[in-house]
Amino acid sequence: MRTPDDPRPPGDPAPAGYLPISGYGFIGNLRTAALVGRNGSIDWCCFPYLDSPSVFAAILDAGQGGRFSVSVADGGSGDQDYIEDTNVLVTRFATDSGRLAVTDLMPLSGEIAGRGGSHAPPVIVRMLDCEEGTVEVAVEWSPRFDYARTRTQIEEVPGGWLATGGGEALFLCGPESAAIDEAGRDAVLRARFTMREGERRVLQTHWGIEDMTCDPARAEAAFDETIRVWRTWAHYEDLAQTPRWAGEWLPYVTRAELTLKLLTMADSGAIAAAPTTSLPEEIGGVRNWDYRYAWVRDASMTAQALVSLGHPREAIEFLQWMERTAEAHSGARQPQVLFGLHDPTADPEEIELEHLEGYRGSRPVRIGNAAARQLQLETFGELVSTGYELARRGVNLGPEALRFLSAVADYACRRWKEPDQGIWEIRGPPQHFVYSKVMVWVALDRAIYLAEHHGLAGGVDWWKRTRATIRERVLAEGYDEEVGSFVQAFGSKALDASNLRIPLVEFLPFDDERVQGTIDATIEHLTKNGLVYRYLTDDGLPGGEGAFGLCTFWLVDVLALSGRVEEAKEIFTGIVARMNSVGLLPEEFDPGTGEYLGNFPQAYTHIGLVNSALYLAHAEGRWVPEHAPAGIPREGLRRRG
């Protein structure tokens, strides 16, 4: 995907044993996923689900995390790319004696539009093809169950090898011969063989003991079906919805679309924030979090992106899942901000895995996420926006959903005066974050709309009075004349990039001088080398973090819709150029080196790319979909250039 005049991916080489985060591709089956390095090593995978304990976790501990590696004899890295319009990944190695292609996939069959129509066995298929000459191939298979907390044993069984530990099992078939190294605490299987031009070998690893066979013909059929499934989905159920608005950005938008789908769980419609845990926001730092959860706040932005891309079923089902899940928690003291992907009632207790060294020594490694227990007032806005987004797409919310949204609006009215942890889940003392107050305003504004147009019953007069009070308070205490910008919290002079969304959620128009002042202040004080920091203030944690991908796209959005199109295009082009070789983006970047930071690939960042491409299309006068993102004037929705 990288163009010849744009030779990145960025980032300094990582120390021995670790690839740069940008050095990975991403495969999956809508239940779980894996990261595949340019060196042919699968260094992260959880089975059977994305939020299950890891089986391969070398990305978090190169020594004991476990991996499934296929490499050439000299141990060098290859070039990666996806088979067009799929999530099937190919890594090609070139040696002095020949060329090897390793094709990685998790098989998928059936119908993947929406949820419930697909079948995906818990299998990784690795197809090895010698494309030229002869190649010496080395294989390492070292499963480490339960985040390497349990001892792994490997034994040869009919048809292959079986790894067991802690009551779990993983089966491998494909290598004709292998040796089991039991010198350490955990066993390692190693194989070495020569492949000649035109020869193909298929390696498969299966979760559990239900399928302990290796049929190359079946694997090749699975390859063909998986290609068909991804291409059918990517080419859209309704060709009229093809994002022709994307123009020259279409390849990048398509990769973002396929990445978002990979993070969608087929059984529920939930979308994970990222497939990984504890990839650091600062190398060697402590800001390492588990993102294998679905956050409420992702709902509206995900819906906008998927609907814009011609996938309304995913968008509607995701919003409905968020609504059902939040409703199931409505008896709690406050709405929960994140939920498990497969069991939303499970307690996401945050635990530190002290035995793992972390990516490049970045401790601690965490599983679970204590942010679930925080008060984040902006969640109220996302919850009611969930219903709003459904309703304006013609979905009948039903009486139970309407009652729930009415209760959320009432709850927002009662609690809006309290300090909270905010959108960035600050671990320090709660504050009166400006963006949090704005999003409570959004909750009430959308509830009033639903009451006036879709039969939502409740205290509309109360909501209107509170909405007006919040607006007055935000304008009086959230904007600082001396700074010339909206600030992070009442009484603060610090900036926060979340305030870029103030016009996007229609709190103020784009031509308001306070909005433009906030944009200019963000560019001057929070932007470095075309990348935007969330904030630069003390947040209760030691160390720092990188610039945030989504905030950078927010800056693109507000510049584009403010008529500052050339500035928007410059920043958009810059962040797109930072995509890795297969078109993936992380949570954060080091603005100095370009190195990837944080969990990867990040749903938020890819949502941002899709929406920014759409905003730019609108700003340039191209046709955009009927249900375009918020902030675009309704009379301009179907404008054509």
What percent of the chain is modeled with pLDDT above 90? 73
Show the 3-state SS of 423-486: CCCCCCCCECEHHHHHHHHHHHHHHHHHHHHCCCCCCHHHHHHHHHHHHHHHHHHCEECCCCEE
Average pLDDT over residues 475-486: 98
CATH (one of 3.40.50.2300, 3.90.1150.220, 2.70.98.10, 1.10.10.10) for 21-220: 2.70.98.10
| pLDDT band at residue 6 under the 50/70/90 scheme | very low
Average pLDDT over residues 584-609: 96
The runs of H, that is alpha helices, within 454-564 are 460-477, 513-525, 549-561
Question: Does this chain's domain 21-220 share its CATH topology with 249-636?
Answer: no
Q: Is the pLDDT of residue 90 over 90?
A: yes
Domain spans in the chain, listed from the N-terminal domain onward = 21-220, 249-636
Average pLDDT over residues 454-472: 97
Q: Give the pair of three-digit tokens for residue 225.
A: 């079906």
Average pLDDT over residues 438-457: 96
| pLDDT band at residue 271 under the 50/70/90 scheme | confident
Q: What is the per-residue pLDDT for 628?
A: 61
Looking at CATH, the fold of the domain delimited by 249-636 is given as Glycosyltransferase (1.50.10)
Average pLDDT over residues 99-118: 94
Q: Is the pLDDT of residue 237 over 60?
A: no
Q: How far apart are CA 466 and CA 473, in angstroms?
A: 10
Q: What is the per-residue pLDDT for 15?
A: 59
Mean pLDDT of the chain: 90
Q: Is the pLDDT of residue 571 over 80?
A: yes
Q: What is the per-residue pLDDT for 492?
A: 97
Q: 535 φ, ψ to 5°?
A: -170, 170
Q: Is the pLDDT of residue 9 over 90?
A: no
Average pLDDT over residues 513-518: 98
Residue pLDDT, tens place only, 292-343? 999 888 766 777 677 778 787 777 777 778 777 766 665 554 567 888 998 8
Whether cis (ω within 30° of 0) applies to the bond prior to 275 is no
pLDDT higher for 381 or 470? 470
Residue pLDDT, tens place only, 185-217? 899 999 999 999 999 999 999 999 888 888 889
The runs of H, that is alpha helices, within 149-289 are 216-234, 250-262
Q: What is the per-residue pLDDT for 10?
A: 40
Q: What is the per-residue pLDDT for 518?
A: 98
pLDDT higher for 601 or 73? 601
Q: What is the per-residue pLDDT for 299?
A: 67
C-alpha radius of gyration, the chain, whole number:
25
Q: What is the per-residue pLDDT for 639?
A: 30
| pLDDT band at residue 558 under the 50/70/90 scheme | very high
Q: How far apart are CA 390 and CA 406, in angstroms?
A: 15
